[in-house]
Amino acid sequence: MLLMKKAYGIFPPMFTVWKKSDGTYDEKGTEKYIDWLIDNGIQSIVPCGSTGESAGMFMEEQKRVIEHVTKYVAGQIPCYAGTGKYSTPETLELSIHAKNVGVDGLMVILPYYYKPYKAAAMNHLREIHKATELPMILYNNPWFAGYELTAKEAKILVDEGVLTGVKAAHGDANRVSDMKFECGDKMTVFYGHDYAALQGLAAGADGWLSGFPATFPKQCRALQEAVMVEKDLDKGRAIWDKFIPFINFFMDPEVNAQVHWLEMLKWAANVQGANVGIPRKPLKELDPEFKKRMEKPLEILLSI
């Protein structure tokens, strides 16, 4: 039986690097980015999450990315593949492929767009578990899927052995405390958004799984160490204060009406030398005006 590594800690849904010349997958660029992430303190990794633009990939392309990243990481840290699609057959196809290429586990978003009723969504997860027997993190994202499982509903699947973790992506820290209260140590709970990570970690999260860890791994690790390891909330607040100017810009409705969060995060990673390129169309490189407006808040955050 394969020994799977449990995901924990600073856990980026990594960017996918596309070649500037033709927009196809850039293996060498992705490898350099993975090295950068590991060198800057990540503890687990997800290829083909939302930040990795999985919704913009062809099926065979997504399989290739999962296989390449898994083999390149080669057990250095836990590698959980994002395999969630709307349909159960597609999700099964991707998940079985991920198992065959050696991932440590799966991250699966609830079936989206059509928003199936909860019993159908839970059976979807049960089928994936039955087919793969891999550890599975529920990607509980009401903003992308249109709904989420409650802590009590998730507990049913935890008690059945279907789920081992959850990415609490709503953003409010109470999602973390509710899951920990209902599921305890049987569920690894990750704070899964960006705007309230201090509160999520203080509420008992086992790690941080969202776009910021893919962009600011060193800074996210510093916050986690202060709150979870050193148990120094004052130190955590001081670190978090340096995130706030960037978050205020990043979450500003006026800004979000003109540029996309993925354009902002990829540019912020590039400024640090990660060389992750730009998102696929219909998105594009961040506009020069917003690069200029981001400079000061980004400088504050990178001073951590």
For residue 102, is it left (φ>0), alpha (ψ between -120 and 50) or beta? left
Spatial separation of the C-alpha atoms in residues 190 and 92, rounded to whole Å: 24
How far are the Cα atoms of 19, 177, 181, 252, 258 from residue 290, in angstroms, in the given order?
23, 36, 41, 12, 9
User: Is residue 167 annotated as a catalytic residue, yes or no?
Assistant: yes
Per annotation, catalytic residue among 80, 139, 180, 191: 139
Q: Is 139 a catalytic residue?
A: yes
Token digits of residue 58: 């062809």
For residues 204 and 221, give the distance between their C-alpha atoms in angstroms, rounded to a whole number: 16
Give helix 59-73 / helix 27-39 axis angle, nearest 10°: 50
Select which of 167, 180, 266, 291 is catalytic: 167
Which pair of structure tokens corresponds to residue 98? 């991920």
The DSSP line for 218-252 is HHHHHHHIIIIIS--HHHHHHHHHHHHHHHHHHT-
Half-sphere CA count of 277, side-chain side, radius 13 A: 25
70 is in an annotated binding site: no
Active site residues: 139, 167
User: Which residues define the annotated binding site for pyruvate?
Assistant: 51
